[in-house]
Structures are given as structure tokens and as C-alpha cells.
Chains A and B, each alone.
Chain A
């Protein structure tokens, strides 16, 4: 394997923000992403939006998957997106939200720059395919 042979791997941050202690879903998704050949960085529980921004910027992930089941998405997600903008990272990061998101909020999140919202029961393969198709091309 030569030094110039390109080895592109999709990098994802699976993030839990705020006071929401339910991480089973985040774990399941982390594993599925790993098995799909992605590199997954898991944030751990109870992270502040700044921590997620810090991790997204430093790890230079292609995909940021935010898992929220507490209903606080309408305060937390905008904070994260603002933070990403501050570091010029919003343009080429695919932001996904998963969890319990009412339909009327979904539109709002998408207007903010969230690429897709996945609710309960979304098939794993669908998410993986979505990531593969929409992963930002950074050349």
C-alpha cells in the first residue's frame, strides 16, 4: 500500500446532547455505522452543544448525527449549527438528527441546515445509504 494511495473513509460523530440519558439508539447506530465501514466517534452522554461543536471541528467528521429524545431539539440543534458556522464547519458537514421529533419541527430543523431527520423505526440500511449518497465531497 503506497503512501499516495488514497484511503477515504467516512467519519461520523454520533452525539448525545443535553439532559437526555437514553443512549441505546446512539449505540445501535454507532455499531451499524462501524459495520458499514465508517469511523465512528461517539460523544458519550450529556454533552453540551459547545462540546459537540468542538468535536465536530477537531475530528473533521463528514457526518454529525445528533440523537435527541428529550424534546429539546429546538434549542440544542440551533446552538450546534451556529457553533459550526462560527468555525466554517457547517457547509461541508452532513448534519442528521435522530430521535423523537414532531413533524412540524422537522421542517424547521431542515431549514436550519439539518439534512435529514430519522424517527423511531427508521431502517438502519436507509440511514447508511443516505450517508453514503450525501456525504460531502471535499476536494
Chain B
């Protein structure tokens, strides 16, 4: 069954691609084997992450991006991630509504995903879904997500190029950007640039990028005019100068989209040169393996906890001050650690 599915996906059957992503999302039995088999067929797609605050116009821009890539004869895969209710697990995934420019074009494969499950789970599922699209043969894979927290940042980080969308007049959003999204942006797009305040937002962003250059606390090691506070030479990835460009777009009128894609292509060219792409890939696989290890490990632990009669027993003892969380962790992990060490010595 999984054999057929992988074969069908590789031969370009849309239904098989859709079903594989479902299996990935559901973590259905056999999905690991599928992803393992797909891995060798990946590595050709250009992965682009799009993030920004709700209402920034991400979906509309993604729609226009997809249409423009299609005009150029490229195939496109899109994964749009929306939040799900932490209470019921339910979700309304609305990004598809904006995909009006690609009606009936199966070569734009658009998939909505909800942020179901745990923190690590979503980034694993997204990574795997990107692999499926990559193995299917998509030239461009776009990951679209609301930039609201660490979770989302982890997701877009696996893209080759990350674009952050900023709507005009978003003083507060700019504040939010400072909290972490700014650092991951390779390209900025001030969308809805026809609204008043766009110039000011561009100006604010420009200032912040300069600040980022001079700021030693982030890993750019520039010594531009703004630097000088510290004299440490930190060879960060941007050490020899990628300055995130700011592009003004009006996505719903298809303005600035070409310039935006140009900026993405420039960045792509920049990372491909001098082996930076390989370095990014290494970082990504490192993260991927670590995340997977953490998840698999925690699953093994869950199994052990269940075997010992569940966590509640320990919780009650902690509450009664008979033991403490550290002691419980030692007690549960102790045998595992011992077993690992014993096997290693043999």
C-alpha cells in the first residue's frame, strides 16, 4: 500500500501526493517509511517561507506569487498553516479563499494545514509535507504561516529564503518583529503599500535593518557605519553582506510582485553562491534530526510512564511533597540512561 503510494506520488499523481500529506499530518502507521523513501528524491525545490501578522496579506501575495511562477512555467506547491483551537482541536482554514488566480490549475498544489498537535509536531509535519512536494517535483514550495511565536519561526526557518510581510502603519507589529521575526527575514515586503503610512513603515524597517547590522547580539557581524559598540568579529552567515531588501507590494492589484520575486531570486542566488545553501541545508537537517530525536525519545518515555501506571501517581506524590519533579525525572530516566550506557560499553 505505501509502496504504491510512493510510486504514484513520484509519477505525479495528485491524489497520491494529497494522501501522503494526510498520512504525514495524521501520523498514520507507515508514514515514517513513506517519508524515508521520499527523502532521496528531494533537494530540488526552492523553499520559500512567508510570514507576517494576521491581515498582512500573506495569502493574497502567495496567490499572486504562484500565478507569476506559473506564467514562467514553474510548478508550485503551497502549504498554508493556520492556528487551531487549543480547546476542541478544530480549525477553520481560510487561506484557500484567496487563491483566486490559480483556479483549476492543478500544477499549483495548495494545502491547508492546521497547527494541530504539539510544538515539535507541527514543524516535523511541515518539513515532511515540504519533502512530499519536493519529491513530487515542485519547482517552488511556499510555506505560509502567521508569524506569532517561536513555533512559527521554527517552521519558516526551514525555508531557503524567508520573507516577512509588514502592513503599513503597524507600529505595534514592528514591535512584534523586534521580538524575533526581524532576525529571520531575508526579504521584507511592505504589502498594501498604497495605504497611507507605507513610507513610514519602510523607513522604520530600514532603520531596524541598520540597527540589526550594528547589533552584536544577533549573528550578523557587520562593521558598517552603525556598528562600533563592540569590536568582536563574529563570522555570521551574513558576514559578507546580505542586506534584506525592502520591497513595496500591493498584492491584490498585482503590483510589486515581480520585484518581490526578484528579491527572492537574488537571495537564492546569494545563498547558492559560496556554499551557503549547503550550510543552510546542514543546519536544517541537524534541526530535523534533533526534533525527531526529541519526539521519539519522549514517546519512548511515555511508554515507560504508562508501563509504570501513569504520570498521575507521581504528580500526587509531588503534591504531597513526598518527592519532587527532579527526583521523578531521575527515577524515570535512570533505567533508560543505564541501559544506554551499558549498551555503549559492550
- Chain A residues with CB under 8 Å of B32's CB are 3-4
* Interface membership of B314, Cβ < 8 A: no
How many A residues face the partner with a CB closer than 8 A?
A: 38
B72-100 CB contacts (< 8 Å) to partner A: 84-85, 88-94, 96-97
- Chain B residues with CB under 8 Å of A30's CB are 92
**Contact A39 B90, beta carbon cutoff 8 Å:** yes
**Contact B292 A39, beta carbon cutoff 8 Å:** no
| A122-139 interface code vs B (CB 8 A; 1 in, 0 out) | 000000000000000011
**Contact A42 B94, beta carbon cutoff 8 Å:** yes
Kindly specify which of A43-51, A66-74, A104-112 makes contact with the partner chain.
Answer: A43-51
**Contact A35 B88, beta carbon cutoff 8 Å:** yes
- How many A-B residue pairs lie within 8 Å, measured between CB atoms? 127
**Contact A42 B92, beta carbon cutoff 8 Å:** yes
Among A42, A48, A54, A88, max chain B CB count under 10 A is at A54
Is chain A's binding surface mostly helix, strand, loop or mixed?
A: loop
**Contact A1 B117, beta carbon cutoff 8 Å:** yes
B3-40 CB contacts (< 8 Å) to partner A: 14-15, 18-19, 21-22, 25-29, 32
Query: Once the chains are docked, how many angstroms separate the CA of A54 from the CA of B96?
Result: 11
Kindly specify which of A55-63, A94-102, A113-121 makes contact with the partner chain.
Answer: A55-63
- Chain B residues with CB under 8 Å of A37's CB are 88-90
- Residue of A2, A6, A41 touching B93 (CB-CB under 8 A): A41
- Chain B residues with CB under 8 Å of A60's CB are 15, 18-19, 21-22
* Interface membership of B299, Cβ < 8 A: yes
Query: Once the chains are docked, how many angstroms separate the CA of A44 from the CA of B85?
Result: 21
Q: Smallest CB-CB separation from B22: which chain A residue?
A: A60
**Contact B93 A39, beta carbon cutoff 8 Å:** yes
**Contact B97 A59, beta carbon cutoff 8 Å:** no
The 4 closest A-B pairs by CB, nearest first: A2-B299, A44-B97, A60-B18, A34-B90
Q: Could you list some 15 contacts between A and B, CB below 8 A?
A: A1-B117, A1-B121, A2-B302, A3-B27, A4-B27, A5-B299, A8-B26, A34-B92, A42-B93, A51-B104, A57-B18, A58-B110, A59-B96, A59-B110, A60-B19
